[in-house]
Structure 1
Amino acid sequence: MTDRVEAFAGPDRFVVVPASYVFLLREGSDGTEVLLQRRGAVPYMPGHWAAAAAGHVERGETAYDAAAREALEEIGVTGLSLEFATAMQRTRSGEAIDERIDFFFTARSWTGEPRIVEPLKATELGWFALDDLPDPMVPHEAAVLAGLRDGTLPAYSTFGFAAS
C-alpha cells in the first residue's frame, strides 16, 4: 500500500491523520461547563486533561460517525446531538510527525451517564467551567475551549505552525 501511495502522491507528500473530539457541555452554576478526562498511562500527554471522548477517524467513517463511536467507546453515551465546532490543522512546529486534522464537536444532549469505559486510557472525569479549566491541559484542546468560551472560535483553525 505504501508503494501505491508514493507512486500516486510522490515520496514528499505527507499523510494527514484525522481525529474527532467531543466536548460535552452543560450549564452549571458558574456558566457553561465541559466534561474532561484526565489521560492515563498513554503515549501522548499522560496526566493531562483532555476531551472526554476523542480518537482517530477510521477508514470509510465520517468525522461525525467517529465522534459518536468514540463517545460510546470512551464514556458510554449515545444519542449525542453533535454540533460542529471547528476543524483544526495541527503540527508540532517542524517536528517529524504526521500533520493532523482534528474535527471538534460539542454536544449539549446525549443518552446515558458519562463514565470511564477505558480505565487504562483515562483515570478521571470531571466537569469544569470554561473559564476555570484544570491544569495541565492538552494545549491544542485548551485553545479550542478558549475559543468556545470567548465566542471567537473560527470554523477553521491551526495549531503549531510557525507564524508567517
Structure 2
Amino acid sequence: MNARSFAVVPAAYVYLRHEDRVLLQLRQNTGFMDGRWAAAIAGHVELGETALATACREAVEELGIMLHPGALTPVTAMQRTDGTADPREQRVDWFFTARVWDGRPTIKEPLKCADLAWFRLTDLPDLVPPHERLVLDGLASGRLSVFTSYGY
C-alpha cells in the first residue's frame, strides 16, 4: 500500500419512522459521538456482509427487533471524512428508513445507549451527529440526494 492509499470504513444506519417521527438513541460509553442523539440502529459492515444484512443484524443487536430487507428503504449513500489523513476516517455510510418491523424497540445494549426516544423530524434535539443531521434534515425537507458527502 502506498502513501496515497486508504481504507474505507463502511457502516449502515436505519431510521425507524412512525408518521412524522424518527426513533433516536442517546449514545454513551462508545468513544464516538457520546452524549448525542443518533440513529437507533447503526453499525459497521462486517467482512462478507452487505449493508442490508448489517442493518438487519444491528436491529436485532441494538433494539431486539426484526427488520426484513424488503422493508428497508435506501435514502442515501454518504461518503464522509473528518478532514484528517487518518485512513480510518475515510467512510461510506448507507442510510435506510423502515416503517415496518417485528417486535417492540427496546434498549439491548444499555452500556452504549442511555435512552431511546421518538422525535419529530421538524423538532430534533440539538445534539445530533452532524453527518446524521444532514440526512435527517434532508428527510424532513424531502430533498435528500441519493449520494451525499460530508467533511470535504
TM-score tier by shorter-chain length is: over 0.9
TM-score, normalization: structure 2?
0.94
State how far apart, in whole Å, the 1-side matches of 2:35 and 2:127 are. Answer: 8
Matched, 1:73 2:58: no
Q: Is the 8 A contact 2:59 2:67 kept in 1?
A: no
Preserved CA contact (<8 Å) 2:76 2:94? yes
Instruction: Out of 147-156 and 93-102, give the one that drifted further.
Output: 93-102
Tell me the SS of whatever aligns to 2:139. helix
Aligned partner of residue 158 in structure 1, secondary structure: strand
Query: Is residue 26 from structure 1 mapped to residue 18 from structure 2 by the alignment?
Result: yes
SS of match in other structure, 2:46: coil
Give the secondary-structure state (helix, strand or coil) at the position aligned to 2:75: strand
RMSD of aligned alpha carbons? 1.1
Normalising by structure 1, report the TM-score. 0.88
SS in 1 for 2:66: coil
Inter-partner Cα distance in structure 2 for 1:95 and 1:149 = 33
> In the alignment, what sits opposite 1:46?
34
Aligned to 1:136: 127
* 2:117 matches 1:91: no
Amino acid corresponding to residue 89 of structure 2 in structure 1? D
Among 145, 150, 153, the alignment partner of 2:141 is 150
Q: In the TM superposition, what is the alpha-carbon distance from 1:93 to its structure 2 partner?
A: 2.1
Does 1:127 find its partner at 2:127? no
- 1:42 Cα offset (Å): 1.3
Match for residue 82 of structure 1?
Answer: 72
Q: Distance in 2 between matches of 1:55 and 1:39?
A: 13
Which of the pair has more CA radius of gyration?
Answer: 1
